[in-house]
Amino acid sequence: MFVKIMDKKFNIYTLGCKVNQYESDSMADELKSKGARLVGFNEAADICIINTCSVTNMAERKSRQIIHRAKKLNPNAVIVAAGCYVQADKEGLESDNQIDIVVGNNRKKDIVRILEEYFQVKDVQDNYIDINKTHEYEEMTLIKPEEHTRAYVKVQDGCNNFCSYCIIPYTRGRIRSRKLSDVIAEIRGLAKRGLKEVVITGINLSSYKDEDGTELLGLLQKVSLIDGIERIRMGSLEPRIITRGFLEGICNNKKICPHFHLSLQSACNETLKRMNRKYTIEEYMEKCKLIRSYYDRPAITTDVIVGFPGETDEEFEVTKANLETLKLYEMHIFKYSIRNGTVAATMQGQVSDHIKDVRSDILLEMAAKHKSEYEESFRGEKLEILVEEYDKDDSGCYIKGHTDRYIHVRRLNDEEFCVNNINNIIEIEY
């Protein structure tokens, strides 16, 4: 039936979050199952899919740049723009003569049908829905990610938080969750194909609740029973999910990694209020303390935005002092970027780029110091790493991988050892 797809070469360029990466991997699986062949982005292709991001104005600009670059590299290819940018500016993308097809969120699962239709009649029906009016969870299935030893598994979509800086509720819609049985079936399939690590992810993962009432804790416990899966990581979590009950439910499960990406954004209460975040810095610090009471040196990571509208020197000093106290493993520091269509874009007190640069540099220096101190605390200990790849240089061959706390390790070994241990968990002295 799909003769128009068979033997065509395609590539996919993914921008943005882990959910997007999962959806790109799933689209690739669908196309490969119909005989299409995945090639690199810089190679000749018949189909170029750009899975776009719309989280900031800069993300949209980069999405446009990649779309136009794809057309320049492959002027005769079918160019597909998919994802959040389509939801944010469908008309704008449809008017771009570099783009042949636009595909909104909740329609990526139909990528084969959409392309087949296009190749048959050089036209497609509207592949866009009002994402804010659907309760449908877009069921996609991942067979095996391309050239990865771990897989992102999407279990949830949408967000109801409406943070003042964020467009995601408008491009991803309201919260909805995947059936637990579908999650388990997918991960069993991945395990049978040899994958040992999965990352459970979603747009607002903490809100996961399937139709039978199973929440994230129950999902993690069910996944841990799957033979072959040796490591389970969680995507970004909201602080509210960290309770004694949640931690008691996972802390003795050796498959669930002691690695928590706990969303923060600011360590100052006044800034958090303007961001419309639903917790205080005191509550956040208490959650970190609670995690540390259940785990030895858990890896706690976060995101911090500097230069949010109205952030004064005094507020930044409060953030800096609280982050110094928290001493997290990793902090991803972002300079606030205006996103049209959000409340924050029209707020008074926009911060200058110069001040954002200064504040960013200060926190980046702090983050590097805390990261180094955390990793140094494991020096001389025996740690297990999942070997993900190896590389070679003039000094020899090196295995590369991560510990359960996501510490990156690169170690010299002989080439035979490196080759034979890809996707194995081995012990090394750190």
- What tens digit of pLDDT does each residue of 254-295 get? 999 999 999 999 999 999 999 999 999 999 999 999 999 999
List, for residues 127-147, the tens digit of each pLDDT value.
Answer: 877 888 888 898 999 988 876
8 A C-beta contact, residue 34 and residue 2: yes
The token duo for 59 is 């993300």
Strand partners, 167: none
Strand 37-38 and strand 9-14: the pairing is parallel
Task: Say what percent of the chain tops pLDDT 90.
Answer: 89
**pLDDT band, residue 2 (cuts 50/70/90):** very low
CATH for 9-129 is: 3.40.50.12160
Task: Find the radius of gyration of the CA atoms of the chain.
Answer: 22
Mean pLDDT, range 51-69, rounded to an integer: 94
Q: Order across the sheet with 330-335: list the strands.
A: 259-261, 299-306, 330-335
Mean per-residue pLDDT of the chain: 94
Q: For the chain, what are the domain ranges?
A: 9-129, 382-429
Scan for tokens 């990571």, then name that residue. 301
* pLDDT at position 417 over 60: yes
* pLDDT at position 157 over 90: yes
8 A C-beta contact, residue 44 and residue 59: no
Strand 299-306 and strand 259-261: the pairing is parallel
pLDDT for 1 equals: 46
* pLDDT at position 394 over 90: no
8 A C-beta contact, residue 101 and residue 122: no
The token duo for 295 is 């785990």
Beta-sheet strands, E only, within 71-217: 78-83, 101-103, 150-157, 176-177, 197-202
* pLDDT at position 108 over 50: yes
Alpha helices, DSSP H, located in 295-351: 313-326
The token duo for 239 is 């602080």
pLDDT for 3 equals: 54
pLDDT for 133 equals: 80
List, in order, residues 6 or more apart from 416 with CB less than 8 Å away: none
* pLDDT at position 68 over 60: yes
d(CA 306, CA 268): 11
List, for residues 214-245, the tens digit of each pLDDT value.
Answer: 999 999 999 999 999 999 999 999 999 999 99
